[in-house]
Amino acid sequence: MKKLYGTGVALVTPFKRDGKIDFKGLEKIVKHVVENKVDYLVVLGTTAETSTLKKEEKKNIIECVKDINHTKLPLILGIGGNNTEDIIEKIKDINLDDFSAILSVSPYYNRPSQEGIYQHFKSIVNNTDAKIIIYNVPKRTGSNILPDTVIRLANDFDNIIGIKEASGNVLQSYKIIEKKPSHFSLISGDDFITLPVILGGGDGVISVIAQGFPQEISKMVSLAKENKVQEAFSIFYKIINMIELIYEEGNPTGIKTLLSVLNICNSYVRLPLINGTSLLKKKIQNHLNFINQKII
């Protein structure tokens, strides 16, 4: 497959008031981002609240997104966890024909050593032909995949094609970019540092805010890839406060609140997450009005 470039979107899972999946809302989201120039979609990532989805619900979400996307954009599927054997079984149990790669988070809670992380991904790769994108998000997993471990995995396994790097540490991204093989993509997993990561040689972003502003984020990323720095930052500075707002009460609570203000889907989440407050909704609405007056 070609390297992943540009703007990927980490899709949410919309819910109805009764907690059931809102497939009409999911359809609106997918159409919204596909029609507004994003480059690929990430299904069942962290932002999709996968930890509270049942097996059958996940299958239904996959089929829904596939039907709506209709092969327009590449699809990435989240399959990760802290039980290596279970992940291997899940990968074997699913038809991956319509997916370009699997996004697999580093084991959480167990807090493995760097060698443990290496052996975890080695075991996955040795049991599938699927392309693997590593997902490093220390604030959720409790452990950080260090650059040396990333480079070791990238050099040892051709099927490990990239990393979604969400440590929030630009220097860590740069250390990977400096030494990574040519087939390997460094993808920002943090909306705040997407531009410095791309300008330093990164390949794009798997974004949360792009769900609300797909056209703007796609344009910003494209400008950065073209080294049009001022133009890219002019877009970023107009939405930086909104990025802060969507994380003020956690993810995906914030982005769902924004999507509800945009009349794309409801803002309901599942416990142990709670819905965004009325204050957050008001802040987002007010800032959206400001953005609509200013943004390109």
pLDDT tens, 11-33?
A: 999 999 999 999 999 999 999 99
DSSP state of 21: B
Taking the chain, what is the end-to-end CA distance rounded to the nearest angstrom? Answer: 33
Mean pLDDT across 155-168? 97
CA-closest candidate to residue 213, choices 242, 173, 184, 179 = 242
pLDDT of residue 72 exceeding 50:
yes
Residue with tokens 């909306």: 191
Mean pLDDT across 25-54? 97
pLDDT in tens, 244-287: 999 999 999 999 999 999 999 999 999 999 999 999 999 999 99
pLDDT of residue 295 exceeding 60:
no
Per-residue pLDDT band for 2 (boundaries 50, 70, 90) equals low
Per-residue pLDDT band for 3 (boundaries 50, 70, 90) equals confident
Catalytic residue ranges:
135, 164
pLDDT of residue 5: 86
pLDDT of residue 1: 54
Per-residue pLDDT band for 242 (boundaries 50, 70, 90) equals very high
Which residues contact residue 14 at a Cβ distance below 8 angstroms, ignoring those fewer than 6 apart? 21, 22, 25, 26, 29, 256, 259, 265, 266, 268
What is the rounded average pLDDT for all residues in the chain? 96
CA-closest candidate to residue 198, choices 179, 177, 214 = 177
Contacts 24+ apart (CB under 8 A), 177-182: 177/201, 177/202, 179/147, 179/151, 180/150, 180/151, 180/154, 181/154, 181/155
pLDDT of residue 293: 72
Mean pLDDT across 72-98? 96
Mean pLDDT across 107-135? 97
Query: How buried is residue 181: exposed, middle or buried, by Cβ count under 10 Å (0-12/13-18/19+)?
Result: exposed
pTM of the model: 0.95
Token pair for residue 72? 């327009």
pLDDT of residue 296: 46
Mean pLDDT across 217-229? 97
pLDDT of residue 294: 60
pLDDT of residue 10: 98
CA-closest candidate to residue 259, choices 20, 30, 86, 50 = 30
What's the alpha-carbon Rg for the chain, to the nearest Å? Answer: 18
Token pair for residue 279? 């204050």
DSSP state of 167: S
pLDDT of residue 167 exceeding 70:
yes
Cis status of the peptide bond prior to 272, with omega within 30 of 0: yes
pLDDT of residue 243: 97
Which residues contact residue 54 at a Cβ distance below 8 angstroms, ignoring those fewer than 6 apart? none
> Which element (helix H / strand E) includes 103?
strand 101-105
Mean pLDDT across 28-40? 96
> Which element (helix H / strand E) includes 204?
strand 204-207
